[in-house]
């Protein structure tokens, strides 16, 4: 843009000041501009160029969204065999889901998190207010985790400072209540045609902000990925963040989707995050290429640019969530009741705790065929509803002349069960649940996911005799790893800190076993 056009665009500069600049090569005589006028024009041009430059220079990047960061440090330690493990250090970054630095939502979220970090450091007040005994309104207690009136007052003070409003109490729906989410917010779908989106669980507010998690397969894909889709409406404080590590190693680029939407794509290893900033809200999406819901999957494919853009094209960014009456949502629950409790498919099995084995009841024991028939005949029992997605393989794992039956899920390639004949023929078979991987050797890796009472991932490595080799533990909150320094299931004080690369090195030291798989529905002892 020429300087003269810039001056016209600003509008409040007198026309004669502009015309007095003349045009080189126009044949017009150049008049000397009074010094005061010249400095005024120069200042205006400089300001205009600066403003234009800002629109070019400022580009949304993960660094613009960073609310906070923590340096995680592990001291030198010693491994399970007494070997020296050097200390390590890395940085965890926490990103805003409501836009970049400078926005009122970003500033408010940062102040709120800073307050939360220093407030009640030993959790004395939290413990004293068990189950919100102080009576903090649910809007603040549930949505913003305020457990004292002092916290509520501080939050309102921050909101007033940045002229924001609090979101109402979260309404939470489970996967079987998916229609409630869509009907309440009057959204047709979060994905486009050609993307198979499974049932979702969500939290959402009357104002329209929400967070949803669902499974997704693109057209032609067999494996499901987990997607977290967030819609944070501007003018309100959305209290959650997304953590990332090694932020400087993420590859980031701007992308225009097939429907013309401008988004930021960022990838690291097998992970993808998408940010779309609209005038009324910020949409953020997070997903990964991985075969199981664990911190990392050594078999997962890297997230390429082509795959990231294909995934980005599968979502809708034009949604317009509407306000609703919470009472009507609660009334809808009558049409979507929680499924009736079903008997577990393992009901009646005996447990040998010492041997970590499940022993079937007499009526289905004895042969593999009896057990397979039982699985396929009870697809609606809890624990057996996905048998149609199971594959099987027969192999002699321990080289004792008897075949073991291995079961895994086709869509995740994650091993589920090892069915093994007992040493005494009259005892039939027993089952060991692995929910993980099988490596050459054989070495078994059983993976346990977080539970309310135990918020860690565990990776138990066992040998052919089902004896413990070692156990790794991952803390998803701190994104830190540790290793058991004793055999067997470790106690709380039996962990040595290791880095993520060391944990991955331990797991990658084993080669996945190669087997011939067939659908469980085609089971035959002849393979």
In this prediction, residue 74 carries a pLDDT of 65
Q: Regarding predicted confidence, which is higher, 438 or 84?
A: 438
Report d(CA 64, CA 59) in Å as an integer: 8
User: Tokens 């393992």 belong to which residue?
Assistant: 346
In this prediction, residue 295 carries a pLDDT of 62
The DSSP 8-state label assigned to residue 448 in this structure reads E
CA dihedral (23, 29, 33, 34) in degrees, to 10, reads -170
In this prediction, residue 197 carries a pLDDT of 77
CB count, 10 Å around CB of 436? 21
Structure tokens at 203: 């939290």
Q: Regarding predicted confidence, which is higher, 379 or 431?
A: 431
Residue 41 has pLDDT above 90, yes or no: no
Split at pLDDT 50, 70, 90, the class of 91 is confident
User: Tokens 């603040």 belong to which residue?
Assistant: 140
In this prediction, residue 293 carries a pLDDT of 57
Segment 85-102 shows an average pLDDT of 83
Split at pLDDT 50, 70, 90, the class of 244 is confident
In this prediction, residue 250 carries a pLDDT of 95
Cβ neighbors of 29 (< 8 A, separation 6 or more) are 22
| Ranges 88-102, 139-153, 334-348, 441-455, most confident | 139-153
| Ranges 20-34, 414-428, 482-496, most confident | 414-428
Q: Regarding predicted confidence, which is higher, 238 or 57?
A: 238
In this prediction, residue 322 carries a pLDDT of 96
In this prediction, residue 455 carries a pLDDT of 83
Segment 153-172 shows an average pLDDT of 97
Predicted confidence (pLDDT) per residue in 374-404, tens digit:
888 877 666 666 677 789 999 998 888 888 9
Report d(CA 270, CA 98) in Å as an integer: 24
pTM of the model as a whole: 0.66
Q: Are 437 and 414 in contact (CB under 8 A)?
A: yes
Give the chain's mean pLDDT: 81
Q: Are 36 and 44 in contact (CB under 8 A)?
A: no
Residue 487 has pLDDT above 70, yes or no: no
Cα Rg of the chain (Å, integer): 30
**Percentage of residues in the chain having pLDDT higher than 70:** 79
Q: Considering only 44-53, 224-233, 422-431, 469-478, which range has the smallest mean pLDDT?
A: 44-53
Q: Considering only 47-51, 156-160, 436-440, 458-462, which range has the smallest mean pLDDT?
A: 47-51
Cβ neighbors of 279 (< 8 A, separation 6 or more) are 234
């Amino acid at each position: 843009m020429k300087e003269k056009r810039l001056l016209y665009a600003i509008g409040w500069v007198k026309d004669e000041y502009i015309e007095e600049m003349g045009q080189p090569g126009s044949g017009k005589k150049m008049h000397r501009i009074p010094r005061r006028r010249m400095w005024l024009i120069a200042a205006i041009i400089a300001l205009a160029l600066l403003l234009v430059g800002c629109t070019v220079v400022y580009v949304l990047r993960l660094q613009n969204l960073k609310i906070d960061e923590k340096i995680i440090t592990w001291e030198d330690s010693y491994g399970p065999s007494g070997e020296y493990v050097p200390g390590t250090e890395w940085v965890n970054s926490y990103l805003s889901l409501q836009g970049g630095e400078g926005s009122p939502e970003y500033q408010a979220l940062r102040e709120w998190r800073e307050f939360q970090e220093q407030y009640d450091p030993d959790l004395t007040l939290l413990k004293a207010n068990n189950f919100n005994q102080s009576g903090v309104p649910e809007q603040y207690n549930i949505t913003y985790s305020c457990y004292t009136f002092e916290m509520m007052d501080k939050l309102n003070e921050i909101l007033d400072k940045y002229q924001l409003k609090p979101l109402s109490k979260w309404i939470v729906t489970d996967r079987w209540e998916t229609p409630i989410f869509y009907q309440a917010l009057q959204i047709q779908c979060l994905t486009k045609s050609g993307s198979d989106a499974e049932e979702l669980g969500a939290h959402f507010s009357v104002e329209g902000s929400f967070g949803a998690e669902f499974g997704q397969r693109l057209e032609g894909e067999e494996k499901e990925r987990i997607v977290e889709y967030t819609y944070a409406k501007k003018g309100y404080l959305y209290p959650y963040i997304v953590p990332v590590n090694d932020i400087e190693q993420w590859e980031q680029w701007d992308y225009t989707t097939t429907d013309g939407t401008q988004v930021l794509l960022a990838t690291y290893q097998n992970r993808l995050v998408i940010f779309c900033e609209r005038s009324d809200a910020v949409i953020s999406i997070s997903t990964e290429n991985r075969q199981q819901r664990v911190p990392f999957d050594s078999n997962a494919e890297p997230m390429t640019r082509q795959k990231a853009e294909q995934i980005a094209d599968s979502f809708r960014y034009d949604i317009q969530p509407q306000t609703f009456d919470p009472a009507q949502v609660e009334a809808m629950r009558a049409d979507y009741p929680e499924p009736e409790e079903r008997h577990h498919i393992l009901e009646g099995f005996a447990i040998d705790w010492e041997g970590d084995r499940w022993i079937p009841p007499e009526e289905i024991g004895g042969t593999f065929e009896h057990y397979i028939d039982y699985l396929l005949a009870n697809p609606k029992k809890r624990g057996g509803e996905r048998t149609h997605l199971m594959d099987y393989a027969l192999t002699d794992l321990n080289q004792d002349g008897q075949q073991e039956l291995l079961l895994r899920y086709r869509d995740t390639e994650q091993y589920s069960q090892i069915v093994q004949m007992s040493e005494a023929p009259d005892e039939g078979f027993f089952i060991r649940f692995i929910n993980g991987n099988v490596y050459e050797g054989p070495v078994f890796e059983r993976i346990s996911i977080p539970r309310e009472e135990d918020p860690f991932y565990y990776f138990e490595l066992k040998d052919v005799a089902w004896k413990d080799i070692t156990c790794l533990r991952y803390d998803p909150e701190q994104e830190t790893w540790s290793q058991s320094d004793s055999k067997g299931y470790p106690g709380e004080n039996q962990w040595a800190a290791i880095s993520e690369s060391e944990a991955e090195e331990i797991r990658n030291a084993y080669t996945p076993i190669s087997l011939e798989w067939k659908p469980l529905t085609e089971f035959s002892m002849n393979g």
